[in-house]
Amino acid sequence: MKRLLIGLSVAAALLLSAPALHAYLKLGARIGDRVITLRWSQQPIRYFITNRDDDFVNADQLRQAVGRAFGSWNAVSSANTSSQFAGFTNALPFSDDGVFVIGFLSFENRPDLDNTLGATTFEQDDVTGQVIAADIFFNAGFNWSAASGGLPGRFDLESVGVHEIGHLYGLGHSALGETELVNAGTANEGRRVLGKRAVMFPIAYPTGNIEDRTPEADDIAGISDLYPASGFSAQSGAISGKVTLNGSGVFGAHVVAFNSTNGAMVGAFTLSTQGDFAMIGLKPGVYVVRVEPLDDGDIDSFFDEDNPVNTNFRVAYYNKLVTVPAGGSSGSIEIKVQAK
């Protein structure tokens, strides 16, 4: 067995540069020359809660918040996911024990985690890629809240839990958000959320906010793709195509489909040097499709460092409305962008 650590962070300001990160819409693990989609083959997922209190949240409040966070994903009608609380444990997350543990952790000598609210790690079979175990930690260096309405000055445990459990189920980061740089050029440089529309956006809302407790359309499309409920494929559709710049494919472009009927947005990335993308789990209808460079978060939180992500192009729209049929695809579209 080989332990693969996938550090998936939610940061208040600055993101962790995560090692060995393979974040697509779906997470993947590189096994040899293959990338295997991270997916739980057996459910319910059984998890333990570390029996250790935080300064503001005790272990039982953590259990309840985590239970509600699991419940938010498990309530998605177009996906089949389930979970089960297995009990309290003295084990800590991030320990190579083959058991799925969720708990608080303190990091005395990890300045790289100073701005990380939480993370999810996986233990996978290095031959088959099958998930053996996982852990989720919440950084005890922050002030947490498990209150139903949130509390000023404290991060909402349930919201961050929903994000981390999204990773646990295999979702990567979404780029459906806008940020701005703060404290640029200083040691405290980071990004502040201006707005977002996905629980899986890598940067959290500030303290006191509880908006991330409910998966959005982008999150729902992703979880439904990984664990489709009966009839999901027949009832939803897809948009596929490529993004090109001067005739060449663009890697790492963020493509967003907007359904003006219900206001829903679903995003995807171009994942090849040919600029290919595929966006699935869309409600049948007519869409406006927009493409933008990945400039609202550290690229490391979306892709491996060795991927040639191109951010040197302007925002553009596909020149037609895109029709998404039930159980089918739009047919390949080409979105042409121009360099900045």
List of residues contacting other proteins (CB under 8 A): 176-178, 193-197, 205-206, 209, 211, 256, 258, 260-261, 263, 265, 284-286, 288, 290, 292, 314-325, 328, 330-331
Q: Output the smallest distance, CB 5 to other proteins, in A.
A: 30
Tokens of 227: 């664990």
Alpha carbons within 13 angstroms on the beta-carbon side of residue 275 total: 23
Element (H, E) at 166: helix 157-169
Residue whose CB is less far from other proteins, 3 or 320 = 320
Q: Output the smallest distance, CB 193 to other proteins, in A.
A: 6
N-term to C-term CA, the chain: 46
> Measured between alpha carbons, how far is 61 from 314 in angstroms, rounded to an integer?
46
Residue whose CB is less far from other proteins, 130 or 323 = 323
Cα 140–222–49 angle (5° rounding)? 30
Residue whose CB is less far from other proteins, 87 or 206 = 206
Residue whose CB is less far from other proteins, 232 or 258 = 258
Residue whose CB is less far from other proteins, 261 or 272 = 261
Beta-strand pair 190-196/10-11: unpaired
Q: How many Cβ atoms sit within 10 Å of the Cβ of residue 316?
A: 17
Tokens of 10: 């939610």
CA 203 vs CA 192, 256, 276: distances in Å: 8, 18, 26
Q: Output the smallest distance, CB 234 to other proteins, in A.
A: 14
How many Å separate Cα 142 from the centre of its chain? 21
Amino acid at 50: T
- Residue 131 contacts residue 40 (beta carbons within 8 Å): yes
How many Å separate Cα 275 from the centre of its chain? 21
Residue whose CB is less far from other proteins, 184 or 286 = 286
Q: Output the smallest distance, CB 280 to other proteins, in A.
A: 16
> Measured between alpha carbons, how far is 212 from 199 in angstroms, rounded to an integer?
5
Comparing C-alpha atoms, which of 279, 292, 293, 276 is closest to residue 322? 279
Residue whose CB is less far from other proteins, 196 or 242 = 196
Residue whose CB is less far from other proteins, 20 or 321 = 321
CA 6 vs CA 27, 260, 291: distances in Å: 9, 36, 27
